[in-house]
Amino acid sequence: MGKFELFIFDCDGVLVDSEPISAAAHKAAYAEHGVELRDEVMARCVGMKQKDIIALIAKETGFELPDHSIPNIWREVQRLMHETLQPTKGIIDFLGGDPHHRCVASSSALERIVLSLHITGVDAHFKAGRMFNSAMVKHGKPAPDLFLHAAAQCSAQPSACAVFEDSVYGVQGAVAAGMTAYGYVGGSHCGPHQAAKLKQAGASEVFSSWAEAKAHLQGR
């Protein structure tokens, strides 16, 4: 589609509608210690890796989750994924065609990326070895490292890459990498002001549906 050599997709909230699952799992883990996480705190965690989420919550609440409780988050995420996880609406149609020119770049653990895409069937639309995460680079989003790593592994120039992101951190990272950033706000976790936030962060365009994104790219 258009001038791009490579499409880079965030996973959670972009390919799969999993951000509400992540929020619920974190809330459950903290509730075991009598700590109630507000929705606005969890909203600020979107696009961050687990370690940074724990640190942000500690800063906001004054409570640091004990190390032995952290695995409970992943166990709850897995349970909820198997019960309720769905691909974002319209993504399967959007991904139709040649899978050679797309990859995944996510802050999530690789195990989570693989599981979520397998449960939803989205993995069938990506080549093996085209899933990258923040553990593979020194700095996660909003640094450009992950996007530059993904482009290099896929033999694409950054200027010829388009990134689809639902978070401010992701958009900032894509812009810092010299790529075209597109915002996606079709996930169930996105509030009414998310589109404006993504535009302010540097998104070239913001789409509320994959049909809208497809029409834009075909019209380039």
- H or E segment and range at residue 25: helix 19-31
Looking at the predicted structure, is the pLDDT value of residue 2 above 70? no
Domains of the chain: 6-17+86-218 (3.40.50.1000), 19-84 (1.10.150)
> DSSP labels for 121-156?
TGGGGS-TT-EEEGGGSSS-TTSSHHHHHHHHHTT-
Mean pLDDT of 180-194: 92
Residue 69 contacts residue 33 (beta carbons within 8 Å):
yes
Distance from C-alpha of 88 to C-alpha of 29, rounded to nearest angstrom: 26
107 CB-contact burial (10 Å; exposed 0-12 / middle 13-18 / buried 19+): buried
Query: Which backbone phi and psi does 147 adopt, to 5 degrees?
Result: -70, -40
Percent of the chain residues topping a pLDDT of 90: 81
Nearest to 179 by CA among 220, 150, 212: 150
pTM of the model: 0.86
What pLDDT does residue 46 have? 81
Per-residue pLDDT reduced to its tens digit, 195-216 = 999 999 999 999 999 999 999 9
What pLDDT does residue 220 have? 60
What pLDDT does residue 203 have? 98
Mean pLDDT of 55-73: 93
Mean pLDDT of 124-131: 94
The confidence band for 194, taking pLDDT boundaries of 50, 70 and 90, is: very high
**Residue 43 or 8, more confident:** 8
What pLDDT does residue 84 have? 94
> DSSP labels for 176-211?
HTT-EEEEE--STT--TTHHHHHHHHT-SEEESSHH
The residue to which tokens 């915002």 are assigned? 183
What pLDDT does residue 1 have? 57
What integer best gives the mean pLDDT of the chain?
Answer: 93
Name the least confident of 40-49, 68-77, 101-110, 183-192: 40-49
